[in-house]
Amino acid sequence: MAADPYVTLGVARDASPEDIKKAYKKLARANHPDLHPGQPEREAKFKAVSAANALLSDAARRARFDAGEIDADGQERAPPPPRYREYADSDAGARYGGTPDFDDLFADMFEQRARASAAPRRGMDQSYRLTIPFPAAIQGSSETLTLPGGRTLNVKIPPGVEPGQVLKLRGQGDVGRNNGPAGDALIELDIAPHPLFRRDGADIRYELPVSLAEAVLGAAIRIPTPSGPLKVTLPAASDSGQQIRLRGKGVPAHGGQPAGDLLLTLRVVLGTPDPALVEFLRDHAETGASPRQGGEWEA
């Protein structure tokens, strides 16, 4: 049986949803298998943290857990046999006075247990991992997850998901018992790295190579972005390392959060200059001003 989810996340029983989310994110980052490969104890801790968060982030299931109706695995708790409870709570005279009919007492106890075992029970939740492309994590998408038995699930990815985030597909876990409801599928997301883009919160960064002519003269160029090609104007006399910010072109607005920006860092690539350019630069080196001027550069 899983540990108490409040203990697993290290939060109080009256913790707010925001406190639970904050504790989950901290523990998920500290124990994520991709960040700590080859450490099974961290992977086990990560799975426990994800399961605890899945239970406590669902207001209805959290209320049922707090009321003692389900356990930490999300399974129904069987109620104690009523007749036995009445017998245990009675005083000594009522328990031992007279000539109690023990056959009826135990018959009722077994009948209550049989009823409890035949009651509808919710199926267990099942946890899976799904690796999605970087653009899908930014823009959102619909991905297919193939389960070990060959069954497939269509997983709707909302915009702006993060590594380790868990999506819940209701009713896609184990089937219930005695016509009980099915459990849920808990999909933990991994995000494949991208050769160009890097996420920084709501912003997206990448290094943009430009030619010497583009840097000196300026240019209008088309660049790739997670949402598709985009036309960008480079200012003349751009330096290597200069940053261009495209507002609202990062992670789209989602969940009440504003859209992020796309941050381009220019990298001037010289290539192989032709002889005329080399001659011009030699002349310019003799007459042009040095960028290293001022007392701090004197040696």
Q: Would you give the end-to-end CA distance of the chain in angstroms?
A: 72
Q: What is the pLDDT of residues 206-252, one digit of tens each?
A: 999 999 999 999 999 999 998 899 999 999 999 999 999 999 999 99
- Annotated domain spans of the chain: 82-118, 121-193, 198-289
Could you tell me what percent of the chain has a pLDDT over 90? 47
Mean pLDDT of 255-265: 93
DSSP state of 205: E
Task: Check for a shared fold between 121-193 and 198-289.
Answer: yes
Q: Name the CATH code of domain 198-289 (choices 3.40.50.620, 1.10.15.40, 3.40.50.300, 2.60.260.20).
A: 2.60.260.20
Tell me the pTM.
Answer: 0.55
Q: What is the pLDDT of residues 119-132, one digit of tens each?
A: 888 888 899 999 99
| The pair of three-digit structure tokens given for residue 200, joined into one six-digit string | 């920084």
Chain-wide mean pLDDT for the chain? 84
Cβ proximity of 56 and 16 under 8 Å: no
CA 202/CA 253 separation, integer angstroms: 9
Q: Tell which CATH architecture fits domain 121-193.
A: Sandwich (2.60)
Give the per-residue pLDDT at 286: 72
Phi-psi region of 211 (alpha: psi -120 to 50; beta: other; left: phi over 0): beta
| The pair of three-digit structure tokens given for residue 131, joined into one six-digit string | 């690796």
Partners of 152 in the β-ladder: 146
